[in-house]
Every structure is written in structure tokens, then in C-alpha cells.
Structure 1
Amino acid sequence: MAGNSQRRGAIRKGASRKGASVGSGGQRRRGLEGKGPTPKATERPNHKAYSKSSSSGGSGGSSSRGPSRGRSGSKKPSSEIVAGRNSVLDALRAEIPATAMYVAGRIESDDRVRSALKLAADRAIPILETPRGELDRITDGAVHQGLALQVPPYDYAHPNDFFDPEAPGIPLVVALDGITDPRNLGAILRSVGAFGGHGVIVPERRSVGMTASAWKTSAGAAARVPVALAGNLNRTLEDFRKAGFFVLGLDMDGEVELPDVQLATEPLVVVVGSEGKGLSRLVRENCDQIVSVPMSASTESLNAGIAASVALYEIARKRATRS
């Protein structure tokens, strides 16, 4: 035939009784264009890697997904999943805030399950029956035993909130430097509440956040004592000093022993370092005094939670005797 009707691809050959048919004119090809590259697995909500990318671990029956996101833009995850019958029951008994309880379908009920269901119902926590496969995904493979509890993000305060001149008593704040154990944070919150403290400051990085474990250890103090999130602990300490606070650092090699501290009746920030490394160099430089807890045996040491409790007790005692 004349023209280009014999060009390869101009017609589609087939066994149809209707004879040869024309092509799609490129419509099918254009329909596949403009969609861009395939998203990464961590960016696809239906992919199991998506849920892992939004968590920071969590394994075993008492685990969770990590601490909560603060309002200062922390990198901490936004929520936490408590998995396992004992852990869920303990969390409910400690009245840890929760937004939902997941229960596996056809779960074998025991006393723990019945108690958890009753406590959740009494607190009006939504109870969601969930397929086991979905529960495995939600808990990131933890041993959930058919029960999981979702803990919402903790609403962190701002360090400047502790500058309130109308707050009762002499200001007393505890700042944590390198504390990573949530049980220490919970114990410190309990001591701050017991000895008249006004709040706790935790850094955004390399520090524990308000996890379910910290809530539980605090024995209810977390509901009363605010926790503030500091983007930079050293700058925060500088701000407190400018506001008229004195900064005391707790360290076993302190230059002043706790009973000899003369600043107890002043507005204070007590900085507690990690049990292993103690205070960091820059934080130490921002302290007005480095204070040690006297002990009868020089080879012994106290963990961060106990050291903070002893220091807060002594400060409260000095304030009471001089008032």
C-alpha cells in the first residue's frame, strides 16, 4: 500500500475476526507517565517497614515504642505501645493515660485480661478487638499475649514555665543530664513531688523521655509534676541563672558536701548526671557549685534517682529549718 501504512507497529495484528485494529495512540503509555519514582517502603503506610520507621524499638512483653514527642520539636516518637498482659494491667492500675486498648480476637481470657477489660471500661478507654496479625504489626513484633495499650504523646512544658514568680514556695527545679533510664526519671518525679519541687527538665537528645515506665515508677507524681523539654540544656541553665536561679550539680567528686550547701534557701536548679559518666563538661561549667553526697564507703555510689532524692530531702530540710 502507498504511504507509510506498512510501517512496523502502525497496526496491531491479531487473530480477531474483526481484522487488524489500530493502536492506542500512546494513551496507555502516557497513562504510566508522571507518577514519579516508587516511594520508599518506610513511606508507604501499608508496608510493614512504615510502622518500624515510626518506632524506636520495643520488644518483649513489657516493652513500648519509646518516649513521647515534646512540643519543642523533639525527635522522640509521637506515641507509645505497651504490650503484654502484665504490662498493660500494671499501666492501667497506675492510671497511665491511654487512648485505646487493643484486644486480640478470640483471646483466651484469664484474670489479667478480665481485670484489664474492667479497668479500661471504668476509665472509658476505647477497647478495640484486633486480628492477631494486625496486633503483631501494632506492637512491632513484641510478645503482646493478645493485649496492647496505646499511650498518647506526653504534653511537655517549656522550661520558662518554671520562672513563674507566683508559684508557691522557693523555686526548686531538677534538670537531668544524660539520664536514659525511665525508672530514674519516674523516681526523680516522685521525689520532686514529695519535697516541694516545681518540675523536671529533660534534654531533647541523649535523654530519657516520659514513657509508660516513667509514669508507672512515678507512682502518680507524673500527673502533678510537670516535665519540660529543653532543646539545649546548657542554654537553658544559662537562662535560669539570668533569671536569678543558682545551679547545683550533683557529682561524687563535688567540691562541697551536701550538708554544707549554703544556697539551699535560694531559687535552685539541681542538675543530676548519669550514674556512669556523671555531669558533662559543659554542664559542669554552668554550675555555681558541684555538690557531693557524703558516704561512709568511698567505693560505693548511688544511682541518679536515689542521689536526687537525698539532695532534695536535704534542701527541703534546710528550707524548713530556716523559714
Structure 2
Amino acid sequence: MAKPSYFYGIHAIEALLNQRPMDALSLFVQQGREKDAHIAQIIDTASAHGTSIQYSQKDKLSQLCASPQHQGVVLHARPLGFTDERCLDALIAHEQCLFLVLDQITDAHNFGACLRTAVAMGVDAVIIPKHHAASLTPTVAKVSVGAAELMPIVSVTNLARTLGQLKQAGVFVYGTALDDAAAPISTVDMRGKTALVMGSEGEGMRRLTMECCDALVYIPMSGNAQGNLQSLNVSVATGMALYEINRQRQPN
């Protein structure tokens, strides 16, 4: 089992305490911040579940979590684990299930930002490959502002096989790519069972992953950047693509 980690940031800690309070071990609070409304609520929640509370200087908290961006609270807790792949079976049953597939996104900040957007846009689960992908670190938890705790994140050994299984179950797999065969995302009907695949910023989707896609789409842009998906940060591109899918699914 992985060693406990130091989580930081108000929203990340709130989500952890609300979703899996038994994994919380010790809460460290910056001296003088205990009367802040959000932090006071965190202290109350942690205390209610028997988590020890310690008060420390700001620099001490920065040392614990290796970041000055702790917002006055650091939580020593067991790390979040990936969800078992079998959870996908139940989710696929939904008529408008939506999966976000991140192919080799290794940057923790991009990963966390993608998770934050995924929760906001109604994604049912995020799927990543077991290798060459960011882990569920405290940095990911902080950047996702707690979203990592709110949705299944599935790590699979063979991404191509998983995409094949989704397709067999009636999920249409769209890949984002700069390709002559790609269509503008706004022209494609994504209201049914959908999986959206986003590739890494540098390389995009791997060849085998692309071959598993039913269709390719891109985000049209204006000016010199038109059609150039790589001119966007992957988390920004993910947000734009998911927004379009969510827009299509809204009632008229």
C-alpha cells in the first residue's frame, strides 16, 4: 500500500474529508487561520471523524507539502486509489454516458485541470493508461480543487483493449487530432454514448489509440491558429471539447 501523503489546499482537503474521512490521519492548520470560515469548517469535519489537529507556522506547512500554495491547511492522509475498471460496466448502461480518455497526459497540473473540467461538464469517468500517465498526487488533488475525489478515475493496463470494450458496448469513441479526416467538433453529434480521447501535448494520441477511434474531431480556431489543436494547452482543449459535448446535450 502506498505511503500516506500530505494533501494541501482548502477545496482538495474538503473533498477528501467529505468523500473518505477514514483516510485522513492528521490535519495541520496554520496558526492564526483557524477562525477563517472555510478552515473552521475543515477543522470541525476533521474533528468529527477523530482526525488529530495540529497548529503550525506557515513555513512548516510549506515544508510538509512541498508547496507554499497550501492556503493554511495540510492534511496527512492515505492517497486516493484508482477505481476498478469494472465500474465502467455500470456506467455504460446510461444512455448518455460520457467518458474522458487521457492518453499519456503526464503533467500533474494538466491532469488536475482536466479532472476539474471533467466533473464540471458531467463526465462519468476518466480513463487513463497505467503507464506514462500522471498519478493521483496531492498536486493533482490541489489543481483539481477536489474533483479527483468526486468521480471514478480508472487506470487500465491496455488502453486499446478498453476502448474496444467500450465500442462493443455501444460507446462511440472520438479522438481529437490534427488530421485530414478530422471534422470540426461542433459538426459531430455527441449526444449518445461517448468517449472523448485527448492525446499528450507533444505527441498527441498514440497510433494504436487513434486506430481505435470511430472518428476524429478538432477544435476550429480563428486567425493563424485555425485548426491547430496543439496551440492550446491540453487542459484548455479538453475544457473546450467537453463544453461542446455538454452544450449539445442541453435541452432545447
Q: CA deviation at 1:113?
A: 7.1
Listed as ranges, the gaps of 5+ residues in structure 1 are: 1-68, 70-76
Return closer, same or farther for 1:161/1:181 CA change in 2, 3 Å cut-off.
same
CA distance in 1, matches of 2:107, 2:67: 22
CA distance in 2, matches of 1:248, 1:89: 35
2:187 aligned partner? 260
Higher helix share: 2
Cα deviations by residue, 1:17-69 (Å, 9 ceiling, x for unpaired): xxxxxxxxxxxxxxxxxxxxxxxxxxxxxxxxxxxxxxxxxxxxxxxxxxxx7
Cα deviations by residue, 1:2-25 (Å, 9 ceiling, x for unpaired): xxxxxxxxxxxxxxxxxxxxxxxx
When structure 1 is superposed on structure 2, of 268-277 and 207-216 the one drifting more is: 207-216
RMSD, aligned CA: 3.6
2:147 pairs with 221, 232, 238, which one? 221
1:276 aligned partner? 202
- AA aligned opposite 1:260: T
Return closer, same or farther for 1:122/1:206 CA change in 2, 3 Å cut-off.
same
1:154 aligned partner? 80
CA distance in 2, matches of 1:197, 1:148: 28
% identity of equivalent residues: 30
CA distance in 2, matches of 1:120, 1:316: 32
2:5 aligned partner? 80
Correspondence list, 1:44-123, <5 A: 77-82=2-7, 87=8, 91-92=12-13, 94-97=14-17, 99-101=24-26, 110-112=31-33, 118=40, 121-123=43-45
Higher strand share: 2
Cα deviations by residue, 1:215-236 (Å, 9 ceiling, x for unpaired): 2333343333211121121111
Q: CA deviation at 1:196?
A: 2.5
Q: CA deviation at 1:180?
A: 1.5
- AA aligned opposite 1:170: Q
Return closer, same or farther for 1:196/1:167 CA change in 2, 3 Å cut-off.
farther
Q: Is 1:124 the equivalent of 2:49?
A: no
TM-score (norm 1): 0.60
CA distance in 2, matches of 1:177, 1:160: 19
- What is the aligned residue count? 233
Residue pair 1:186, 1:222 contacting (<8 A) in 2 also = yes
Return closer, same or farther for 1:314/1:123 CA change in 2, 3 Å cut-off.
same
Residue pair 1:256, 1:292 contacting (<8 A) in 2 also = yes
Q: CA deviation at 1:186?
A: 2.7
Determine helix, strand or coil for the equivalent of 1:207.
coil
2:20 aligned partner? none
Residue pair 1:120, 1:127 contacting (<8 A) in 2 also = no
Correspondence list, 1:5-16, <5 A: none
1:287 aligned partner? 213
TM-score (norm 2): 0.74
Cα deviations by residue, 1:280-323 (Å, 9 ceiling, x for unpaired): 111111111121110113446111211111111212222336x8
Residue pair 2:100, 2:197 contacting (<8 A) in 1 also = yes
Q: CA deviation at 1:112?
A: 4.3
Determine helix, strand or coil for the equivalent of 1:180.
coil
Residue pair 1:257, 1:292 contacting (<8 A) in 2 also = yes
Return closer, same or farther for 1:225/1:148 CA change in 2, 3 Å cut-off.
closer
Q: CA deviation at 1:182?
A: 2.6
CA distance in 1, matches of 2:106, 2:134: 4
- AA aligned opposite 2:43: A
Residue pair 2:27, 2:46 contacting (<8 A) in 1 also = no
Q: CA deviation at 1:102?
A: 6.5
Larger Rg: 1
Return closer, same or farther for 1:111/1:247 CA change in 2, 3 Å cut-off.
same
